[in-house]
Homo-oligomer: A and B are copies of this chain.
Amino acid sequence: MPVISSKALRMPASPIRKLVPFADEAKKRGTTIYHLNIGQPDIETPQSALNAIRNFDEKVIEYSHSAGNESYRNKLADYYNKEGITIHSDNILITTGGSEALVFGLMSTCNPGDEVIIPEPFYANYNGFSVTAGLNVVPVTANIKEGFALPPIEEIERKITAKTKAIIICNPGNPTGYLYSKEELEKLSQIVKLHDLFLFADEVYREFCYDGAKPTSVMNLKGIDENVIMIDSVSKRYSMCGARIGALISRNMDIMNAALKFGQARLSPPTIDQIAAEAALDTPKVYFDNLIEEYVERRNILVDGLNEIDGVYCPRPKGAFYCVAEFPVDSADRFCQWLLEEYSFEGQTVMMAPASGFYANAALGKKQARLAYVLNKDSLKNAIICLKEALKVYPGRDK
Contacts and interface: CB of A to CB of B under 8 A. Distances in A.
Interface string A40-55: 1111110001100111
In the complex, the count of this chain's copies comes to: 2
Contact of A12 (B49, B53, B261): B261
A1 interface: yes
Contacts of A63: 38, 40, 241-242
Contacts of A4: 108-109, 254-255, 258
A235 to B, nearest CB: 8
A233 B12 CA distance: 27
A112 interface: yes
Given A63-B242, A99-B265, A242-B62, A8 B109 contact: yes
A62 B35 CA distance: 14
Interface string A60-71: 111110100000
Interface in A114-161: 125, 127-129, 132, 134
Interface of A: 1-2, 4-9, 11-14, 17, 38, 40-45, 49-50, 53-56, 59-64, 66, 96-97, 99-100, 103, 107-112, 125, 127-129, 132, 134, 165, 196-198, 226-227, 239-244, 252, 254-255, 258-259, 261-262, 264-273, 276
17 contacts: A4-B255, A5-B110, A13-B264, A14-B265, A38-B63, A44-B60, A45-B59, A49-B61, A61-B239, A61-B242, A61-B243, A62-B242, A96-B270, A103-B266, A125-B267, A272-B272, A273-B273
